[in-house]
């Protein structure tokens, strides 16, 4: 159960574990073994640590003096390729060395050989000394005890800021309140935000990206130090959660996007957007539909006639800039087709379509069923495959489009016409060959047409 800090007199953040931090301090320091003679054909991106084409045995002898010493040699077996020879654990380790503008032996890329070796020695030392400890890091994580609350900002936040005890293991506590919210880790920030009973409970996976942390950082899942010089872990691009790469595999799918990270409305993942703004549906969908139903239901060719593209782009920019404060009234955009164009553009630019790639085949299969009742049953099952935020948005849109068809005498838009307009927009096909994609178009139309006609039964 999520901890709500408002149930307590004071909240104290977790104690960050110092063992791995101490090990990083103990790791051997790099010692560059320079070559005392001139070497022909030395690559311009290597310095005096380059010793030319020497054997493994020669390198081993040169490096035997001190732990952490290193050199670069050209491979005798494969001339033109280079090896980093590194002394660790009283033995010489050899790594194939690459350069593409940066130096690397694995996934991480470094500006200098010195940084690569420093990071490598830290990693080797910690993974050698603490292999069993690292394997058990994800057991009994602090994440489960602190909990994960919704991002519903409260004006009284400062009253509930964590009172950090002196903790030399972890990040230094804030000294004043003026920018305290920004200094909180994402984990502590979540623990200081009130749970809203009205918030939609949509599940969302974290959007983790490899990240380089400046200064000491601790994992917000297991509370252990994130070691290394660069790419020490991953950061969720939507909520800011910082965790080890291995911890990211077991973090629950409970991302609560932070508006500081979610900068756009258009081209933003639908579930990410609604969770960031704490709404049931994207505000662009609600606001456009409300505007259309206020002044556009009787407009001839509604959704079929295109608005002026530059003004549609203006609406998009207004939503991206102002969010729910965007002005799309008749005072700003008299032509209702600009609003329909902006709504269709929103759906076209979703990175994952409203009818998702995963669910797409099931909807197409349902459309191919000739028996009307069995087709409805199949569509009902297909709808269960959609993420909750997608399904709710689709329900709201179909109810609106049904109201559009109820004014068909004026707007000339039947469910079939709307199916033609919205089919390819709402259910873009996964990458298929051209012929399959072409054949799918008529089934996409039929899916939308059936959803509109039977929205009261299917949702």
Inform me whether the pLDDT recorded for 307 exceeds 90: yes
Let me know whether 289 and 364 are in one domain. Answer: yes
SS3 389: helix
Let me know whether 291 and 425 are in one domain. Answer: yes
Let me know whether 350 and 232 are in one domain. Answer: no
In a domain? residue 329: yes
What per-residue confidence (pLDDT) applies to 259?
83
Phi, psi of 258 (to 5 degrees): -105, 130
Report pLDDT digits (tens) over 233-281. 999 998 889 999 999 999 988 888 888 888 899 999 999 999 989 899 9
Let me know whether 257 and 287 are in one domain. Answer: no
What count of other Cβ atoms lies within 10 Å of the Cβ of residue 178? 10
CA distances from 291 to 277, 330, 397 (A): 20, 9, 13
Let me know whether 424 and 284 are in one domain. Answer: yes
- Single out the residue in 121, 136, 151 at which a domain terminates: 136
- Helix runs in 27-172, H state only: 56-63, 113-129, 131-135, 142-146
Q: Which domain holds residue 403?
A: 264-458
Let me know whether 329 and 418 are in one domain. Answer: yes
Let me know whether 406 and 336 are in one domain. Answer: yes
- What distance in Å separates the CA atoms of residue 108 and residue 157, rounded to the nearest whole number? 38
Let me know whether 268 and 233 are in one domain. Answer: no
Let me know whether 277 and 421 are in one domain. Answer: yes
- Single out the residue in 218, 235, 261 at which a domain terminates: 261
- Single out the residue in 195, 229, 261 at which a domain terminates: 261
Of 9-18, 55-64, 250-259, 339-348, the range with the lowest mean pLDDT is 9-18
pTM for this predicted structure = 0.65
At 417, which helix (H) or strand (E)? helix 415-426
Q: What is the CATH number of the domain that holds 248?
A: 3.30.60.20
pLDDT tier at 10 (50, 70, 90 boundaries)?
very low
In a domain? residue 191: no
Inform me whether the pLDDT recorded for 8 exceeds 80: no
Let me know whether 238 and 316 are in one domain. Answer: no
Task: Please count the structural domains in the chain.
Answer: 3
The answer to whether residues 185 and 173 touch, using CB atoms and an 8 Å cutoff, is: no
In a domain? residue 184: no
């Amino acid at each position: 159960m999520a901890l709500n800090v408002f149930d307590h007199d004071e909240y104290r953040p977790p104690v960050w574990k110092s063992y791995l931090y101490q090990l990083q301090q103990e790791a051997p320091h790099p010692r560059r073994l320079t070559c005392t003679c001139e070497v022909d054909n030395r690559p311009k991106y290597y310095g005096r640590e380059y010793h030319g084409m020497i054997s493994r045995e020669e390198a081993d002898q040169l490096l035997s003096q001190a732990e952490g010493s290193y050199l670069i040699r050209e491979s005798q077996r494969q001339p033109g390729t280079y090896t980093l020879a590194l002394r660790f654990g009283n033995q010489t380790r050899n790594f194939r060395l690459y350069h593409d503008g940066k130096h690397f032996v694995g996934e991480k890329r470094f500006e200098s050989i010195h940084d690569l070796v420093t990071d490598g020695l830290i990693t080797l030392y910690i993974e050698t000394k603490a292999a069993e400890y690292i394997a058990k890091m994800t057991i009994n994580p602090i994440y489960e005890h602190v909990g994960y609350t919704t991002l519903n900002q409260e004006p009284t936040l400062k009253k509930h800021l964590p009172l950090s005890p002196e903790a030399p293991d972890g990040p230094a506590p804030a000294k004043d309140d003026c920018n305290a919210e920004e200094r909180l880790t994402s984990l502590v920030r979540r623990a200081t935000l009130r749970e809203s009973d009205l918030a939609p409970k949509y599940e969302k996976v974290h959007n983790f990206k490899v990240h380089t942390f400046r200064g000491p950082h601790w994992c917000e899942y297991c509370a252990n130090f994130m070691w290394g010089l660069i790419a020490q872990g991953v950061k969720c691009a939507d909520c800011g959660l910082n965790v080890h790469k291995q911890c990211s595999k077991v973090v629950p799918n409970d991302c609560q996007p932070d508006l500081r990270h979610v900068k756009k409305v258009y081209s933003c993942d639908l579930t990410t957007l609604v969770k960031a703004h704490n709404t049931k549906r994207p505000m662009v969908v609600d606001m456009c539909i409300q505007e259309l139903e206020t002044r556009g239901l009787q407009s001839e060719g509604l959704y079929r006639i295109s608005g002026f593209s530059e003004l549609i782009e203006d609406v998009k920019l207004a939503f991206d800039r102002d969010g729910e404060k965007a002005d799309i009234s008749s005072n700003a955009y008299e032509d209702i087709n600009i609003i329909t164009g902006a709504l269709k553009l929103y759906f076209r630019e979703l990175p994952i379509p409203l009818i998702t790639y995963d669910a797409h085949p099931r909807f197409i299969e349902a459309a191919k069923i000739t028996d009307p009742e069995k087709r409805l049953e199949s569509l009902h099952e297909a709808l269960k495959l959609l993420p909750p935020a997608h399904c709710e948005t689709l329900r709201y849109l179909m109810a609106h489009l049904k109201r559009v068809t109820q004014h068909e005498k004026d707007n000339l838009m039947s469910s079939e016409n709307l199916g033609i307009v919205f089919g390819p927009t709402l259910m873009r096909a996964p990458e298929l060959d051209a012929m399959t994609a072409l054949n799918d178009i008529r089934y996409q139309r039929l899916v939308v047409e059936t959803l509109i006609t039977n929205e009261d039964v299917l949702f």
